[in-house]
Chain A
Amino acid sequence: MSQIHVTTRLNGDETEFLCDAQETLLDVLRNRLGLTGAKEGCGTGDCGACSVTVDGRLVCSCLMLGAEAVGREIETVENMADGETLHPLQRKFLEHAALQCGICTPGILVAAKSLLEQNPSPTEEEARYWLAGNLCRCTGYDKIIRAVMDAAEEMRRAS
C-alpha cells in the first residue's frame, strides 16, 4: 500500500508526514506526529474530543483524512498556551474546576477558543449551543460554561 506524502502547517510549523489514504487526521496527529492531546471518544463526529481547527475552522479531526491536511493550517490544543503562559480559557478551566477526568477538556478548550474568536461576547445560551457537539460526562457542563463565560469577559477586558 503506497503512502501519501503530506505537507501542512501544524501549530505554526511546517510539517511533513506520510499516511495511508484512509487514515484520519486524528490518527495522523496521535500516531504519527505524537500529538495525543486530541482524543478519540467516538470516531464518528459525535463527541468533539478530537476537536482541532483547520484554517481557523473548528473540525472533528476524526472526520477528516490526514491527506486532506495538504496546504492547511492545523491548530491543536498543544498550541493553545503561549510557552509558559496559559491561554485565559485554560486558566479559567483550572480556576473553575471545569474538568474532572479531563478527557473532554482538550476538545472543549479548542471549541471554546474557536467560539470566542468568532463571538467574543457569547450569551450563556450561545455558549451552550456552540459546545453542544462536545460531550462531557463528568461535570454536567455547569463549571465549563462558567469558565468559558468568565474567560470571555477577561479577554474582552484585556482587548
Chain B
Amino acid sequence: MALDKNAPETRSFKVVGSRPLRPDGIDKVTGRARFGADMSAPGMLIGHILRSPHAHARIRAIDTSKAEALAGVKAVVTRADFAAAPEGMEDVLDNCMAGEKALYDGHAVAAIAATSAAIARQAAKLIEVDYEVLPHVTDVDAAMAPGAPALHDGRSDETVPDGYSANVMSRVEYGHGDIEAGLAKADRVLERSYKTAATHQGYIEPHACLATMGPDGQADLWCCTQGHYMVRNTCAALLGMDQGQLRVTASEIGGGFGGKTTVFIEPVALALARKAGRPVKIVMDRTEVLRATGPTASSSIDVRIGMTKDGRITAADAELRYQGGAYPGSPVGMGSMSAFAPYDLENVRTIGYDVVTNRPKQAAYRAPGAPMAAFAVESAIDELAKGFGLDPLDVRLKNAAREGTRSSYGPTFPAIGLEATLRAAKDHPHWSAPLGPNQGRGVACGFWFNFGGDTCVTLNVTPDGTVTVTEGNPDIGGSRASMSMMAAEELGIPYEKVRTVIADTGALGQNEVTDGSRVTFAVGLATIEAARAAKREMCARVAKIWGIDEEAVIWEDGAAKPAGPNAGDYPPMTLAEIAAIASNTGGPIAGHHEVNAEGAGVSFATHIADTEVDPDTGATRIVRYTVIQDAGKAVHPAYVEGQFQGGAVQGIGWALNEEYIYGADGILQNPGFLDYRIPVASDLPMIDTVILEIPNPGHPYGVRGVGETSIVPPLAAVANSVSAATGVRMTDLPMSPPKVLAAVQGQQEG
C-alpha cells in the first residue's frame, strides 16, 4: 500500500491541533481515578520506614527484637534482608535502605509491616539503632574544600584531577575554540559567581505503593511512578528476582516532574511483603517526601563572558559545581552541556564538578541541571547587554544558535526555533508595555535536549471497529489524549473511536520512563507507526477480498480504496467494515511498533517576566509573565500551554521562594509545605503563552517534547526583572524578601 509521505511542514491535520476532552478526565474530576495511595488488598499490612535523625552517621548495629515482639508487627527489614546489589545498582539500594552509614537526615535505616499504621509507627520507636555520629557537610563549596568530611572515600573517578576533595566524584568539560583569545577581543569581560538553592519537585502526591508476593516468588506491585518498567527492572535486580516474575502496574500519578523516575519505597515494600507473606502498602508522608526523595541539586557557578560593545559574544566560559546529595550523579553534565546551548559561539567552554554532600540523593527535576546553568549565563548576558545600553533581545538575536550552528556541547543543530522565539518576544505586546513604579522587566532564553528511547505501542482494532492503543508510559498530563489523537489522525477515524490504555509491565516490551519530554515524541511516533502497520494489514486484507494487488489499495479518510488502474472499481471499505469480517480474512487486526526512538528535536524558549518589588519589605510580585516556546507541532495545544505555564511557575517558585534550608546540625529545617513554600494561586497572574511550531524533522508530525524547556528560562527571567526593578544585580537564589531587602538597603547605604 502507498502511505502518505507528507513532510511535517506541509501536512494538514484533522485531529492533531484540536482540543478534545481527555479520556481520563471524568475519572479525575469525580474522584474515581485511582492514584498510588488509593489501592488496597485483602489482608494488607501497612509499612512504615524508620529514618536516620543524623546527617551523617556510621550504623554500628540495629536491634529490631523489641519491634518484632510487638503485637501486630508482621515483619521488620533492614539492609541485612537485601542481598548485595548487582553492579551499578549499589547506590540505588543504599539509598532505599542504608548500609554501613546513614548519609543524610531522613535516610531509611529499617522498615516495619504491621496490621495498622499506628502499630507500625509504634514499632519504629522500639527499633534501637546504634549510631556513631560523623562530621557532615551540606554546602557544595564547603564539600569541595580541602579537609571537608568525606562521604565516600576513594570513589572519585579518573576524570577528577589530583588535589580535589574526596567529595568530588567526577569532572566534565565541553566546548571548542580558545577562551583566552576570545576574551582578548572583547570590549568588556564580565566575571560573576551565582548560587542556586536545592528545590524539590513538589508533586502533590507523595510516593505510594502496594506490594504482593506469593511463596512461589511471583509478585505484583502497584505504584505511582513515571516508569513502571524501570520500577520492575530495578526492584527485580534489588530483590534477586527474574523481571518476568514481577508485574508492575502504574497507578494514576499525581505529579512527578522527574522525581518519580527512581525507586524509594518499592523495593522495601516488596521485601516486607516477601517476609510477611502478606500484601504491604507504604505511603510516604510529606515530611518523608521532602527529607528523603528528590530534590534537585544546588549549584555554585562562575561565569566569564566577553562581549564587544555591539553585543557580539567573543568567548564564554563557566565552571559549574553541583551537589547532588549523598551519591554521585548530580545533573552537572547536562547543566554544562546546556549552559551556552542557545548561542552560536566561536570560543566556549564549560567545566562541571559532580559533588556529594550529606543531603538526599538528588532526583531528576524537569530539564535536570539546565535551569541553574541558564540562570547564571542569562544573568551575565543581561548584565553585559545593559552595561552597553543594548536591548537584551537584540543581543540574544545577534548571538542566537540557528540551523547549522555547532552547539557548545558538540552536535550541529538542525532546524531549531530559538530565533523565532526571540522575534516573537520582540513583537509581543508584553515587550513594549509600560511599567509602573518599582517594576522591572526581564527576559531570558532556555534550551532543552528532549529524549527518545525504548518504546512499545500495540494498537488493536476491535470487531466493532473501535481502536485501543496500548502503551507503557504513565499519563502525567494528558498523554492518553495525545496518543488517541495521533492514532485517530493516522487512521482517519474520529478521536472518540480510540481509547488509549496504559499497560502493566506484562503487556508490552521495555518502555523508557516518562522523562526527558519524550512521551508525545517517542510514544507518539510508535503510535503512528503502529497505526501504519494496522493500515497496511487492513489494505492487504481488502486487496485479498477485491482480488487485486496490495499496492493498488490505498488508505484514505478511514477507509481502504482501490487506486491506480483499479480506482473507482470498488466502493471503499471503512475500518469498521474491515474489522467486522476480520475473522474471515485472516483473524484479528492489530499493529504494533517497538523502537529505540531517535530524532528527538531540541527545543528553545524565551520568557518575559515583569516583577514589582516592595522597597520596604523586599517582597517580589510577578506582575506579568509570557512564555514563548517552540513545540515543533502542538498535538493538543491546551496541554502544551499547560506545560508552558506549569514549568514557568515552578521556575518562579525556584527564583523567589523555594529552598532546602539546613541547620548547622545538617538537619532539614523546612520539611513541610508551610515552610517549603511553593507558589499558590494568589501569588500569580495569568501566564501568557505563545506556541511556535517549527517542525522537528525527526517526527512524522513534527513533534518536539515540550515538558521541560519551560522551567529553564524563568530563574534568570525573574532575576533579570528583579535586578531591573531594584537596580541591584541578584546572583543568589531564591530571591526571598529578606535577601532582596538586604540587597536594596545595601545599595542605598553603599
Q: Name A residues whose Cβ lies closer than 8 Å to a Cβ of B.
A: 20, 22, 30-31, 35-44, 46-47, 49, 76-78, 80-81, 86, 90, 93-97, 99-106, 109, 125, 127-129, 131-146
Contact = CB atoms under 8 A, between A and B. Distances in A.
Contacts of B25: 93-94, 99
User: In the complex, which of the residues A49, A135, A136, A140 has the most CB atoms of chain B within 10 Å of its own CB atom?
Assistant: A140
Interface string B171-189: 0000000000000000000
A139 B31 contact: no
B374 interface: no
A32 B687 CA distance: 41
B687 to A, nearest CB: 5
Nearest to B208: A40
Interface stretch (B304-312, B379-387, B674-682): B674-682
Given A36-B31, A94-B25, A142-B687, A101 B205 contact: yes
Contact of B684 (A99, A100, A134, A141): A141
Contact of A139 (B28, B202, B636, B645): B645
A38 B31 CA distance: 7
Interface string B715-743: 00000000000000000000000000000
B682 A136 contact: no
Contacts of A46: 286, 672-674
B477 A138 contact: yes
What is the interface of chain B mostly: helix, strand, loop, or mixed? loop
Given A41-B206, A103-B204, A97 B638 contact: yes
B21 interface: yes
Interface stretch (B251-259, B392-400, B429-437): B251-259
B646 interface: yes
Interface string B183-200: 000000000000000000
Given A86-B26, A136-B204, A20 B673 contact: no
B638 A143 contact: yes
A41 B205 contact: yes
A23 B197 CA distance: 37
Contacts of B35: 36, 39, 103
Contacts of B283: 40
B686 interface: yes
B681 A131 contact: yes
Contacts of A135: 204, 673, 678, 680
B34 A36 contact: yes
Contacts of B645: 139-140, 142-143
Interface residues of B, number: 59
22 contacts: A20-B118, A22-B118, A30-B38, A31-B40, A40-B285, A41-B286, A42-B672, A44-B286, A47-B286, A80-B30, A86-B29, A90-B26, A90-B30, A94-B25, A97-B19, A97-B639, A100-B477, A101-B203, A128-B684, A131-B681, A135-B204, A138-B646
Contacts of A97: 19, 22, 478, 636, 638-639, 641-642
A144 B38 CA distance: 24
B286 A137 contact: no
B681 A37 contact: no
Contact of B686 (A77, A105, A145): A145
Given A99-B28, A101-B254, A137-B257, A39 B21 contact: no
Contacts of A47: 204, 286, 673
Contact of A100 (B26, B31, B40, B642): B642
Contacts of B650: 137, 140
B37 interface: yes
Contact of B646 (A35, A125, A140): A140
B477 A101 contact: yes
Interface string B130-153: 000000000000000000000000
B125 interface: no
A100 B478 contact: yes
Going nearest first, the 5 A-B pairs with the smallest beta carbon separation are: A37-B31, A103-B254, A140-B649, A102-B28, A97-B638
Nearest to B25: A94
Contacts of A22: 118
A139 B35 CA distance: 18
B642 A94 contact: no
Contact of B682 (A43, A100, A128): A128
User: In the complex, which of the residues A101, A109, A131, A135 has the most CB atoms of chain B within 10 Å of its own CB atom?
Assistant: A101
B674 A44 contact: yes
User: In the complex, which of the residues B118, B286, B648 has the most CB atoms of chain A within 10 Å of its own CB atom?
Assistant: B286
